[in-house]
Chains A and B, each alone.
Chain A
Amino acid sequence: MTDLITLKGVNKYYGDYHALRDIDLTIRQGEFFSLLGPSGCGKTTLLRTIAGFEEVTDGTLHIDGKSMKRVPANHRPTNMVFQSYAIFPHLSVAENVGFGLRKDKRLKSEKDKLIAEALEMVGLGGYGGRAAHALSGGQRQRVALARALILKPKVLLLDEPLSALDKKMREQMQVELIKLQREVGITFILVTHDQEEALVMSDRIAVMFEGRIVQMDEPEVLYRRPKDRQVAGFIGLMNFLEGKAGSHVNRAAAAPTKPAPIEVAQQGFLNRLRSQVGLAKPEPKRISHYQSGVEVEVAGLGKALVPADQIKAELHGKPCVVGIRPETLAILFEGETTDRRVTEGVVDEVVYYGDMTYYDVRIAGVEKPLTISMKNLIGRPVLEVGAKTRVAWDERALVCLAP
């Protein structure tokens, strides 16, 4: 894939306010790219910078190899779906969708055909004659999409396009958007503050905090290997334990063990929607047992290995924070056995979610109880508060972060 959009050292000030800080970003042709971050972190500002509604204070922006300095929005190969959709209320649906074709020299009949096709594509075939201001939220969103896509832009920019829809509609549109993107092959840049949406839809995600891109990775890497505590806490749930990184250890030399790879628990919700559109990887990710790595002393759990390339050099021999996701921990019910490591605990809190139960389990040596999520499989009991239990864990699910 070739690079389509390149930002280098982009800074943006609103008066004294530093809205974008040293943004370096490369987005590839045909990619579904998401900007994820809490409210006010500068996602919209970055998107508007790419669209041409904001000048950068400092740095360069190239789209398709051309510098976008002083190129106004109407001359950029980008189109945008606004958060408010910005449907023109005085025009009909067809006139809205055909708005960008006004300057086009083609025949009216050809344009009408394009408009009809665009409406068909977003599932609004036959709605062309309706007044735009009488549409529902979901329909407006589709009109905005059709209006932008009809111009066949190189990049489609979407500013929280789904945030105004209810949950059901949102999930449906997520699937449709992914499908559409595969179909048209246009690069999508999606702004969202919904981490689940970003994980489900994107090829790559940039996580932003306070005007800075903190981490940029594929959804799975972002989820499993967050770079710092902020990202780890923002995306999904994460237990944090105190730890101390020690010296390098080589197990293979000490006692060669069977190299059988064991499946690491997968994030259920991630796969649910992705599988609907054929995006889920058919093979579950398997990670072999670690043979060597840095030995980390984890509070409450004991010694564990972390591969040397997953722990920053400056953390060696220093206190660190160890993160572990709730779904990678497991409660061992009566009679169950495991080949994983086990620690003793007491149930502190039980929250029942229907398909899942979330337990807070207190273990010795850790102040904050560990959150553990368990699928409610047939025959599996729901434990009571105060019950003694065993918690199984695996060192391959640990991430070691700067405190």
Chain B
Amino acid sequence: MNPLRIYAIAYLIFLYAPILLLPVFAFNDGQIIAFPLQGFSTRWFAELWTLSALHDAVGNSLMIAVCSAIFATVLGICAARAGARHKWPLKGPMLSFIMLPLVLPEIIVAVSLLIVFVQVLGLGLSNWTIIAAHTLICMPFSIAILNGAFGNLDPSMEEAAMDLGETRWGAFRKVTLPLVVPGIISSLLISFTISLDEFIIAFFLSGANPTMPVYIWGMLRFPAQLPAVMALGTILVTLSICLLVIAEYFRRRGLARAGLKDTGGFL
């Protein structure tokens, strides 16, 4: 076989095999994470129901993820539309600056935000500090998706609506918005997913109430709870994949609806 092909296959196994282990041990009827497997069981999933601290963490995470997704997407809409329709001095550098969190190590974002929130602004840590930080790191993804949606729009579309009697806002609402709705949904879902399983920033910035990933990290110290973590992980992976697929579906549908060519996306 072609050595490159062997390499590619080995690479994929190395990358994804650990994820495949999650469901394997989640359904394993034994406390120790090791082969040989000891039979099928769903008791670890049942155990998840009994952990009320976990439920609080999940509730926290959902709240944070929903808020961050909404904020990042609203800001993303503004940035993407401005970028697609207007010119201003230093536009290029400004737009790339917004994309910066994409390449910044999260640990740096986390530490610097911690310093800003606590030392400079004197704020206490809470869910809101995490929401602010997650909005920041979700923005680049949101903008990248929405750029595609807005950039593909014919600028004369809105002008045509205004020409036919709509105000500027009316034209945006009745013509532009419906055409970018798929992009918006896609951006919401991806931001939600990113925020939901983000660990480092949440770890640094969470106050008294940990988010789900932070709570899971805490669980890891107790070997007895490891299989339950596996079960939770399985649920999360499934959920993430579902959300990403839905997001991509909406992105493509948006393109098709506007009768446009696909210019790339995340999937």
Tell me the A residues contacting B by CB distance below 8 Å: 51, 53, 72-74, 78-80, 82-84, 86, 88-90, 99-100, 102-103, 133, 147-148, 151
Contacts and interface: CB of A to CB of B under 8 A. Distances in A.
Interface centre among B160, B162, B168, B175 (most CB of A within 10 A): B160
B58 to A, nearest CB: 37
Contacts of B161: 88, 99
A99 B179 contact: no
Nearest to A132: B259
Contacts of A51: 163
B156 interface: yes
A151 B159 CA distance: 16
A90 B164 contact: no
Interface of B: 154, 156-157, 159-168, 174-175, 178-179, 257-259
B167 A88 contact: no
B165 A103 contact: yes
B163 A90 contact: no
Contacts of A90: 178-179, 257-258
A206 to B, nearest CB: 22
Contacts of A147: 164
A151 B179 contact: no
A80 B178 contact: no
B165 A100 contact: yes
Contact of B160 (A78, A86, A103, A133): A86
B258 A82 contact: no
A87 to B, nearest CB: 8
Interface centre among A51, A99, A148 (most CB of B within 10 A): A99
Given A86-B159, A89-B259, A133-B258, 8 more contacts: A72-B162, A74-B163, A74-B166, A86-B157, A88-B157, A90-B257, A99-B164, A102-B174
A159 to B, nearest CB: 9
A402 B56 CA distance: 88
A116 to B, nearest CB: 18
Given A88-B157, A133-B257, A73 B179 contact: no
Contact of B156 (A72, A84, A102, A103): A84
Which applies to chain B's interface (DSSP): helix, strand, loop or mixed? helix
16 contacts: A53-B159, A74-B164, A79-B163, A80-B160, A82-B156, A82-B160, A83-B156, A84-B154, A86-B156, A86-B160, A89-B258, A90-B178, A90-B257, A90-B258, A99-B161, A99-B164
A76 to B, nearest CB: 8
Contacts of B258: 89-90, 133
B160 to A, nearest CB: 4
Given A89-B179, A90-B178, A73 B259 contact: no
Nearest to B160: A86
Contacts of A82: 156, 159-160
A149 B168 CA distance: 21
A394 B11 CA distance: 85
Interface centre among A79, A83, A90 (most CB of B within 10 A): A90
A71 to B, nearest CB: 12
B164 A89 contact: no
A89 B159 CA distance: 15
B257 A79 contact: no
B165 A80 contact: no
Given A86-B154, A90-B179, A74 B162 contact: yes
Given A53-B159, A84-B156, A151 B164 contact: yes
Contacts of B164: 74, 79, 99-100, 147-148, 151
A94 B27 CA distance: 56
Nearest to A134: B259
Contacts of A78: 163
A329 to B, nearest CB: 45
Contact of B163 (A73, A83, A103, A133): A73
A145 to B, nearest CB: 12
B203 to A, nearest CB: 43
Nearest to B161: A99
B59 to A, nearest CB: 37
Contacts of B174: 102
A90 B161 CA distance: 13
Contacts of B156: 82-84, 86
A151 B167 CA distance: 16
